[in-house]
Amino acid sequence: MAVNEPLPGTSDLWEPEVLDWINLEKQARNIFSRYGYTELRTPIFERTDVFVRNLGNETDVVQKEMYTFQDRGGRSLTLRPEGTAGVMRAIANKGLEQGEEARVFYFGPMFRGERPAAGRRRQFHQVGVEAVGSDSPWMDAECIAMLVHFLAELGIHGSRVLLNTRGLPEDRQAISQALLDYFQPHSNALCEDCQRRLSTNVWRMLDCKNPACHEIALGAPQILSLMGEASRTFFAEVCAGLTELGVEYELAPRMVRGLDYYVHTVFEITHPGLGAQDALAGGGRYRISLPGDKRTFEGIGFAAGMERLLLARESLGLQSPPSNRTDTYIVSLGAPAIPVGLRLAGELRQAGLGGRVKADFSNRSLKAQMRSANREGASRVLILGEAELSQSSVICRNMTTSEQVTLPVGELKNWFLQA
Ligand code: HAM
């Protein structure tokens, strides 16, 4: 690794990519606010137990991926690996009246110590939403439809909505036993992770990506068929809601997702433009309780990887074109012209004229400064030489048409407004 490279799995973000990120956030605000969601910003680190308790002690995220450290007071803190737990902590802190709902969206960096690959970063960014306080399946349908709406607004076509249910906690034990009975005889053929999961997290074996495990999982009992009436009815209503809203989805009976807080609905959206890490977004209904707090909050939400949204857009040829670094370049010839150029640049910016304005303070030759103006993509150049200084005028060059005029400084505004 070269000495100044960012750490593996992290990156520096430059324009024009930054513009794509800003656009993504703008579209998210625009769409989510139409559904009554407001923005929430929570800290990037939390007490470790906020995550461990809800994501689940046996999940890959908690077992292998969290950036956990002790602060100077000996507290265990963790850089947030996802947004939901912190958002729930914030909602619990603010309090929710009986029957009250909170609908929030958020953006920001998340941290997981995963092996970096295309679309898999150690610092990545999510745009997510959480709707807390409604236990209605119709809410799940609306939430998924909102995500589909958001993707359509971003021009991301060709994605698949995969849907499943984990049912209610009271169904869990019987299902876990049935899965254990099924997987146990295959234990020798399973990957190392799944051998461990046999005793810790047997559900997760259903969607293990290892080819041998996947083959075995194909024959596992369908969890939906082992669920009670209440879970199955809830799921049927989510499906009915999606149909009502015209959302196309596919049932994914072995998708259980990697976090333990889910109950009922789970879903993922995949996109073919992403390659191996094809999950654009994931979410579901959850129940979360915070350490030291007896209340349980139920909600539905999702998060989409912002890097992956941009990769999907790129695969469809939708990224922003490279932008110019400068629109108006002020060439100052000779030392006395430099402060005049400095002032002129300031006046243009104050007046909102000339877009990105840059004054050259280098005192180089005309040729050298014009070369810089070209390199930066400037569409207009203002030239201040000795003669112009003495007459309070400026040479104005339109770089697109190569037209050049000398104007009194007072007439610059019209020149900018004309072309
Ligand atoms: P998740 O499936 O772990 O869910 O992450 C959601 C999305 O974040 C993924 O679909 C993917 O696009 C992106 N993502 C995850 N890990 C990485 C990574 N290492 N590099 C790049 N992108 C990544 C959650 O985080 C839940 N909190 C979602 C949720 C909200 N469920 C309910 N509410």
pLDDT in tens, 108-150: 999 999 999 999 999 999 999 999 999 999 999 999 999 999 9
The pLDDT value recorded for residue 317 is 94
CA-to-CA distance for 256 and 147, rounded, in angstroms? Answer: 19
Strand runs (DSSP E) across 112-154, as ranges?
123-132
Distance 285 CA to ligand 1 centre (A): 14
| 207 pocket-lining for ligand 1 (C-beta < 6 Å) | no
Q: What angle do CA 357, 326, 335 make, to 5 degrees?
A: 55
Answer whether 124 contacts ligand 1 (Cβ < 6 A).
yes
Domains of the chain and any CATH numbers: 17-168+227-315 (3.30.930.10), 328-418 (3.40.50.800)
- Tens digit of pLDDT at every position of the chain (419 positions): 789 999 999 999 998 889 999 999 999 999 999 999 999 999 999 999 999 998 988 888 998 999 999 999 999 999 999 999 999 999 999 988 878 999 999 999 999 999 999 999 999 999 999 999 999 999 999 999 999 999 999 999 999 999 999 999 999 999 999 999 999 999 999 999 899 999 888 999 998 989 999 999 999 999 999 999 999 999 999 999 999 999 999 999 999 998 889 999 999 999 999 988 899 999 999 999 999 999 999 999 999 999 999 999 999 999 888 888 899 999 999 999 999 999 999 999 999 999 999 999 999 999 999 999 999 999 999 999 999 999 999 999 999 999 999 999 999 999 999 86
Task: Calculate how far, in angstroms, residue 334's C-alpha sits from the geometric centre of ligand 1.
Answer: 56
For residue 27, the CA-to-ligand 1 centroid distance in Å is: 19
Mutate to test the pocket of ligand 1, among 42, 50, 114, 126 (most ligand atoms within 8 A of CB): 126
End-to-end CA distance of the chain: 48
Ligand 1 closest atom vs CA 119: 21
CA-closest candidate to residue 262, choices 114, 110, 82: 82
Residue 200 tokens, joined: 């810790």
Gap between the Cα atoms of 402 and 220, Å rounded:
72
- Per the listing, tokens 């912190």 go with 86
Please tell me the predicted confidence (pLDDT) of residue 419: 63
| Per-residue confidence (pLDDT) for residue 98, from 0 to 100 | 78
Q: Residue written as tokens 């589909």?
A: 148
